[in-house]
Amino acid sequence: MSERYDVAIIGTGPAGLSAAITLKIRNKNILLVGSKHGSDKVGKAHEIQNYLGMPAVKGADLASAFENHIESMGIEITEDKITSVYNMGDYYSLLSKTNKTYEADAVILATGVSFGKPYPGEEAFLGKGVSYCATCDAPLYRNKTVAVIASTPQEEAEADFLQEIAGKVYYIPTYKGEVQVKPEIEVIHEKPVSIEGEQKVQSLVLADRRLDVDGVFILRESVSPANLIPGIEMDGNHIAVNRRMETNLKGCFACGDIVGAPYQYIKSAGEGNVAALSAAGYLDLRERTHQY
């Protein structure tokens, strides 16, 4: 049985880390999921002029200050990527890329923004041939033909894994640089255009050709919020929240870039703090009134 946490925080950028610190102070049992190295948007920034108390700080230095702060409070980061979050009524169930299930009474979404738009057909065929998780869905494609659209070299290992199960794997990198996948995998350097089919996926259309496939794995750094958590209310491309960082789902909070511009470190960290205090208040009230 999976352990039940008080709060699951998804994302280890400034918003998620700040939420984790506040919830730790409020003595909550937290699951903090994301990359142990934090957000690339922090670590790879050249020089930051507007983070309070740290003038002209290099991104790498701010990232290591965040890491030290988290470590000094004994907060652990679970290195994983959440692929789906389900509202189970009085708790949330989180599924991950490594095929684990986590459970928490409340959830804080701090996954940042991805500037990639969904491909035409992606949302319509989600669960009908479109997948975001090779580990979870590979067994559905035993001896079948699949395409992998990958946004980072980290996904090469996922394609190698799929190749062990599927009959044929096409790999379409949308990043620059050398690709290192198993020789059986066909690497195609072409822009994906759309996903097509009738009841299920039948083809992936590229700029200059069409691939007949049974499945398309779209492996991006982040999944669009509407696909990550069914039923979440959006405001354009962002999650709709109020000033307490509450979403339309009870016990679900969101903070940082994912709730809208301006995209700034200090705003994200501040909203992480607000989301954490709201989550703690929600749990405390639930405890007092036994609303579960």
Ligand X SMILES: Cc1cc2nc3c(=O)[nH]c(=O)nc-3n(C[C@H](O)[C@H](O)[C@H](O)COP(=O)(O)OP(=O)(O)OC[C@H]3O[C@@H](n4cnc5c(N)ncnc54)[C@H](O)[C@@H]3O)c2cc1C
Q: Are 165 and 157 in contact (CB under 8 A)?
A: no
Q: Restricting to residues 109-138, which ones interact with ligand X according to CB under 6 A?
A: 110-112
| Size of the residue set binding ligand X (CB under 6 A) | 31
CB nearer to ligand X: pick between 79 and 284: 79
**Residue whose CB is less far from ligand X, 112 or 173:** 112
Q: How far is CA 74 from the centre of its chain?
A: 23
Asked whether the beta carbons of 223 and 136 are under 8 A apart, the reply is: no
Distances (CA, A) of 241 to 114, 129, 160, 247, 277: 18, 32, 39, 5, 15
Note whether 225 binds ligand X by CB under 6 A. Answer: no
- In whole angstroms, the minimum distance from the beta carbon of 288 to ligand X comes to 31
Is 28 a residue that touches ligand X (CB under 6 A)? no
Residue 202 or 264 with smaller CB distance to ligand X = 264
Cis before 262? omega within 30: yes
- What is the Cα–Cα distance from 20 to 277, expressed in whole angstroms? 10
Sheet order of strands, 186-187 included: 130-131, 215-219, 145-150, 168-173, 186-187
- Pick the binder of ligand X from 4, 24, 26, 41 (CB under 6 A): 41
Shortest Cβ 239–ligand X spacing (Å): 11
Instruction: Report helix, strand or coil for 34.
Output: strand
CB 99 within 8 A of CB 135: yes
| 215 binds ligand X per the rule CB under 6 A | no
Q: In the complex, what is the shortest distance from the CB of residue 153 to ligand X, in angstroms, rounded to a whole number? A: 14
Choice between 77 and 188, CB closer to ligand X: 77
* Residue among 118, 146, 127 at smallest CA distance from 84: 127
Each residue 67-96 as x (binds ligand X by CB under 6 A) or -, in order, gives --------------xx--------------
Residues 255, 263 contacting (CB under 8 angstroms): no
Amino acid at 122: E
How near is the Cβ of 44 to ligand X at its closest, in Å? Answer: 6
Q: How far is the CB of 287 from ligand X (least distance, A)?
A: 27
Closest CB to ligand X among 13 and 197?
Answer: 13
- Alpha-carbon distance 107 to 1, whole Å? 19
Mention every residue, 6+ apart, whose C-beta is less than 8 A from residue 21. 69, 70, 73, 75, 276
Smallest gap from Cβ 197 to ligand X, in A, equals 26
Residues 6, 9, 13, 201: which binds ligand X (CB under 6 A)? 13
Q: How far is the CB of 199 from ligand X (least distance, A)?
A: 28
Among the listed residues 123, 234, 263, 281, the single contact to ligand X using CB under 6 A: 263
**Residues contributing to the site for ligand X (CB under 6 A):** 10-16, 33-35, 39, 41-42, 45, 48, 50, 81-82, 110-112, 221-223, 256-257, 263-266, 268
